[in-house]
Amino acid sequence: MRLVPNSLHMQVASTLREQIFSGDLAAGAFLDESALCEQFSISRTPLREALKVLAFEGLVRHEPRQGCYVSQVTEKDLDDIFPVIAMLEGRCAFEAAKNANDADLAALDTLHLRLVSHAEAKRISDYYQVNYTIHEAIITLANNRWLAQVIGDLRKILKLARLQQLHAPGRLEQSLSEHLAVFAALKARDPEGAEAAMRTHLTRQRVALRDLAERRDNQSSKLDDVISRNDLNSFNREAA
């Protein structure tokens, strides 16, 4: 893959960012500079500048004398970020309810029809993409560049984990219901209702992610127990 010289490091950063968001570069993965330089047909200088951009965004971390790794979002990160982004996106919904005109609401209606279709068909990836577009549309309608800037930075981190929550049992249907509640408040020109509904939507995303983490931990513990019992049985047979 060969990239053109213009703003080379930003193009590399954009490509790596998409690979991180898509999961092609998994959380915790080591970023081999030699391999990436060969992949992009570039020198180490633009690659390292690109990695600095991603490190500033929180998508990669640099370990001294080791190199760069794709960031892993911890449970504490999620506990810290979700209350903040719920407050910020709630404010966006408040402002959007005041600012949206009939054409804006018609565009949102089309997006919500697609959202319903994807939810009914259990197309989680497609649902997430429309869901993301709806959030972006509401942020745009708020018409506050400072809110948009801060939310954009936080969403880059949350994007590493958000898609997972839609795999929690019943979460897809719950998410759809929450989105429809936000949209109903927007159509009713109800700023307080839109803000409350959006905050609820974001808060429940965190709950779903926490439930998934607990379920994974329980499954891992059960697997460890099974392995331990098998090892013990094997030892007892050999000792006999």
Share in percent of the chain as helix, strand, coil (round to 5): 75, 5, 20
Q: Are residues 29 and 81 in the same domain?
A: no
As a whole number, mean pLDDT of residues 91-103 equals 98
Domain around 59: 8-70
CATH number of the domain that residue 45 is part of: 1.10.10.10
β-strand partners of 69: 30, 61
Among residues 176, 217, 183, 212, the alpha carbon closest in space to that of 197 is found at: 183
State yes or no: pLDDT of 6 exceeds 60. no
State yes or no: pLDDT of 225 exceeds 60. no
Model confidence pLDDT, tens digit, residues 178-187: 999 999 999 9
User: Rounded CA gap, 92 and 184, in Å?
Assistant: 15
State yes or no: pLDDT of 165 exceeds 80. no
Q: Are residues 195 and 118 in the same domain?
A: yes
Q: What sign results for the dihedral spanned by CA atoms 74, 75, 78, 80?
A: negative
Region of residue 70 (phi > 0: left; psi between -120 and 50: alpha; otherwise: beta): beta
Among residues 15, 182, 151, the alpha carbon closest in space to that of 89 is found at: 151
CATH number of the domain that residue 131 is part of: 1.20.120.530
Show the tokens assigned to 46: 């633009």
pLDDT of residue 158: 86
Model confidence pLDDT, tens digit, residues 11-68: 999 999 989 887 788 888 999 999 999 999 999 999 999 999 999 988 999 999 899 9
Count of domains in the chain?
2
pLDDT of residue 220: 56
- In the chain, the percentage of residues whose pLDDT exceeds 70 is 86
Residue 3 and residue 41 in contact, taking contact as beta carbons nearer than 8 Å: yes
State yes or no: pLDDT of 150 exceeds 60. yes
